[in-house]
Structure formats: structure tokens, C-alpha cells
Structure 1
Amino acid sequence: MPSPDRAARSTIDPDEVAKFEAMSAEWWDTEGKFKPLHMLNPCRLDYITGQIAAQFDRDLGAQAPFAGLRLLDIGCGGGLLCEPMARLGATVVGADAAERNIPVARLHAEQSGLEIDYRHTTAEAMAEAGEAFDVVLNMEVVEHVASPIDYLTACHDLLKPGGLHICSTLNRNAKSYVMAIIGAEQVMRWLPKGTHDWNKFITPDELYDLMRRAGLTPVDRKGMVFNPLGWSWRLSERDLSVNYVTASLRPERVTL
């Protein structure tokens, strides 16, 4: 259980929450403000499902391969990741600090015939309540929180020993500024201006260090690279220059 001092601290940045609440009605519009996430989703799912299958020895060709696994998607938005995880058999909880996202996610899941536990809450509150999961998805969230180390510590506390944490974010360099700020927000207008703060982007080495400090053990990282010719995303072993995704584990036992 987290200490009272740690649990009392919230990593929520109200300004960041307000940005996404303003866009909440558009989560399932593939041509709307979340078009970039819809385009990225197949690439994210490829990584997520592969890591879960490897960690828990699951056959992705089987029916409901993630049955018996309890999964949390923090910053679930409208449920773009929760729904495919539920279809694969996982027991899914979707949590978001933006209250208006939750009714949108619930309605879409109901229309899709899926049972997903959506909650307007935070990682810290769930950790304080003693919630425990086999998998925690933390996708494109860490660059929006007030304190990455406290947030990642809450992610650690939410995992069962041996549990899997998957985290994606944006690298901080000149290329990411051009691609994510100038390109996505100003030129392509995929996202409203100000959606991202480049100063909050985190380099892969910084993220690995933060995860270790939070008690997690990093085990993998890959880039997610956009191909403008094919208008699609792919995973890359080497190119982590803009978008990237990581996998880490909560150790089975604490080593002294």
C-alpha cells in the first residue's frame, strides 16, 4: 500500500484535464480531433498485445487469450484501447481524470456490447484504495501529469508482483518539436494548438530512470514511427526519436 503522504499527492494537472474534456465528444470520430490516435492505435495494439502475450504466456490465436487477466487503462479517454482489450477477454477497468470522457466511453462500450468498468478517478486514488492489476496501460499520459515520478509510483503500486506496465510518450528533441508541435498541431491541425507542452516531453533514458525510481524494472522499448507515404505507423527497434513505447515489470519480490 502507498504511504499516506504519497497517496495524498495528486499528479493531476487541471489545465491538461480541461484540454481533453473539451474534446471528449469527438473520441470515436476517426476524422476528428483524435484522428492521430485512431491512426496510431493499430501500432499501439500490436505492441501491447505482443507484450502481454509474452509476459503471461498467452496464445493470441486463441479465443479470448487474455481471459483471467485484470487490466487497467489509465487515461482511457473514450475507450480506444479498453474495447479491444475487452474483446480479447481481459477484465478491463478504464480510468480518466477528465469526467466528461467517462459517459462517452460507457455509451460506446454499451453500444458495442462490451462490459467495461469505466471510472472518473485517478491512479493515486485507485492505488490508495488497494486496487491491483496484472496489466497497467499508461499511454500518452505521463507527459501530461504534474509529477511524473509520483504518477509512475502510483502505476507501480497498482500492479500485482510480476505485473506488466506499458507506457508510451513523446521524446524531447528538435525533431519531436517539429513533428508533434509544428506538424500535428499547427500544420496538419490534427490536434488543437497547445495540446502538448514540449517541455514536458520525456526522453527514453529519462523515462527508464523514472521507472526504476518508481520501483519498476524496464524490459523493452520501441519507437512508433509514422510513414507519410503509407499514411500509417510501424514499430521500430531503433527509431525512438519522436513517439515511443516501453514495457516494464513490477518485480516479483523486493531485493534488499
Structure 2
Amino acid sequence: MQVYQSTVDPAEIAKFEAMAAEWWDPAGKFKPLHMLNPCRLDYITGQIAAEFDRDLTDSTPFAGLRLLDIGCGGGLLSEPMARLGADVVGADAAEGNIPVAQVHAEQAGLSIDYRHTTAEALADAGEQFDVVLNMEVVEHVADPLSYLTATQRLLRPGGLQICSTLNRNPKSYAMAIFGAEVVMRWLPRGTHEWSKFITPGELFDLLRQAGLDPVDRKGFVFNPLLWSWSVSASDLSVNYVTASVKPG
């Protein structure tokens, strides 16, 4: 019997494990996402449960649903979706994020299909999903309409897309760029371009042009006194989230 030598480099694996630990460190460089994540999850789970008539008190309420987390990063949303029973594909155009996410999912005992790819490539391959999570991505793409058209193509008829982004106004510049990048140094300088932020009205128009029916929008509001985030029905002035459905 021939014995094959492993090509795995333990030093490289150790690097990825260290990166995974940083991604998932609530006090580390991704602290803003960790702070926002409970808000995002409350909104996401509520919208999916309502759209697909699922009971969130069940242990795996999203069983049988195929879900895409586009721009998955280290898997901060992919992992809770997998724990709730969804069949999850996590995709990111940044190749370095994929092994980080894979390592952490393996450490957590979760089966998640992570891929270094784009929404357009997945759509061209004929992939179909019940739910697409499209969180904090659309403000980074070159052509928002083409990108949202690709995410629409990825949905089955009756499918649900959750899309969050940043509003474009003086307050969002003060908080998301000057405050987060300059004062608090939560994010590296240049993470966001204010000119690429999208107002809620613009996003609803783009979603409709892409072939989706917008059904909801809410704000994610940061309280500097309580140092916490909450979902708001009325304040969409900085961070906000939308839900839209692909016609059946």
C-alpha cells in the first residue's frame, strides 16, 4: 500500500487559526460587527420566519431552506444560520476570508459550504437559494444595479433577500466615516466611500429595477450612551436594512 505524504503545512494552518480567532474576537478589529450582529440576527431571523412560516422556538427552524451569505467574511452570519438548520453557502470575493471562515466552522463543528466566488459567478452557474443575505456589500460594488440583478437571479421564485447598507447624508458621513474611521478607529481609513452610500429610496428603486418586490425596511441605530445597537422602525439615517421578495 502506497502512503501519500500530507501537503498540509501546519504553520500555515496555525496562521489561519490565528486569523479566525481575530475575526471572532469581540474585542478585536471586528468589534463593530460583533456589536451590530445581534441586531442583524434579530431582523434576519424574524423576516425569514415570517416569510417561510417558521417557528423560531424550534431548535432548527430553518431546516430545508438553502441560504446564501454573500460577502460572508469570517462567517459571523453564516454560522448562526447553519445552527438554525439552514443549508448555508458562504461566498466572498476576498479569497483570504474563505480559509478563515472554514477553519472557524470546523472548530465549531458546523458544515458550511464556503466559496471564493462572486454573486455573478454563482448566478451564471445556475445556483438557486430560498434566502440571500446581502449585508453591507452593495455600497462596495462598482455597479449596484448589476450586482442586485445577480442576487435576484440567485433567488428561487418566492425567495427572500435581506440587504443592508448605509444611507447617504451628512449624519452618515459624520458617524460612519469620520466617527468610525477617524475618531473611534473602528475601521481602517478608506473602508467606505461616502459617495457610494445609497439612500433607502434609491435602494428600493434599485431592488425594483432588479426584479424584486421590497416589503420592509428598518434602521440599525447605535446608542453611544448605552453603547449598543437596536432596530428602529423610523430612524434609517445611517445604517439600515431592507427585505425584498422575488415574485413567485
TM-score if structure 2 supplies the norm length?
A: 0.91
1:78 aligned onto 2:74: yes
User: Where does residue 107 of structure 1 map in the other structure?
Assistant: 103
Matches within 5 A, 1:84-103: 84-103=80-99
Structure of larger gyration radius: 2
Q: Select the residue among 170, 176, 182 that pairs with 2:172.
A: 176
AA matched with 1:72 = L
Q: What is aligned with 1:34?
A: 30
Measure, in 2, the Cα distance between the counterparts of 1:119 and 1:29. 23
AA at the equivalent of 1:168:
S
What is the identity, as a one-letter code, of the residue corresponding to 1:231? W
In 2, the alpha carbon distance for the partners of 1:94 and 1:55 equals 21
Alignment equivalent of 1:212, drawn from 208, 211, 215: 208
> Secondary structure in 2 aligned to 1:105?
helix
Q: Look up the equivalent residue of 1:161 and give its one-letter code.
A: P
Q: 1 CA distance for matches of 2:168 and 2:20?
A: 27
If asked which structure has higher relative contact order (CA below 8 Å, sep 6+), I would say: 1
Please give the residue correspondences for 1:126-165 in structure 2 after superposition, counting only pairs within 5 Å. 126-165=122-161
Letter in 2 for 1:101: N
Match of 1:222 in 2: 218
Q: C-alpha separation between the residues in 1 aligned to 2:93 and 2:21?
A: 15
Q: Quick check: 2:20–2:101 contact (8 Å CA) kept in 1?
A: no
Secondary structure of 1:202's counterpart equals coil
Task: Check the 8 A contact 1:170/1:202 in 2, yes or no.
Answer: yes
Please tell me whether the aligned partners of residues 170 and 176 of structure 1 are also in contact (alpha carbons under 8 angstroms): yes
Alpha-carbon distance in 2 for matches of 1:242, 1:70:
30
What's 1:249 paired with?
245
Q: List gaps (5 residues or longer) in structure 1.
A: 1-22
Q: Which residue of 1 aligns with 2:48?
A: 52
How far the C-alpha of 1:71 sits from its partner, in A, is: 0.2
TM-score, normalized by length of structure 1? 0.88
Report the aligned-residue RMSD: 1.0
Number of equivalent positions:
230
Cα distance between partner residues in 2 of 1:172 and 1:24:
32
Q: Give yes or no for contact 2:20–2:103 (8 Å, CA) kept in 1.
A: no
Q: Is the Cα contact below 8 Å between 2:123 and 2:154 reproduced in 1? A: yes
Equivalent residues of 1:24, 1:78 under 8 A apart: yes
The percent of aligned pairs where both chains have the same amino acid is 80
The Cα offsets for residues 63-111 of structure 1, whole Å up to 9 and x where unpaired, read as 2000000000000000000000000000000000000000000000000
In the TM superposition, residue 27 of structure 1 has moved relative to its aligned partner by 1.8
CA shift digits 1:165-219 (9 cap, x unpaired): 0000000000000000010000000001100000000000000000000000000
The C-alpha deviation readout for 1:201-252, integer Å capped at 9, x for no partner, is: 0000000000000000000000000011111100000000000000000000
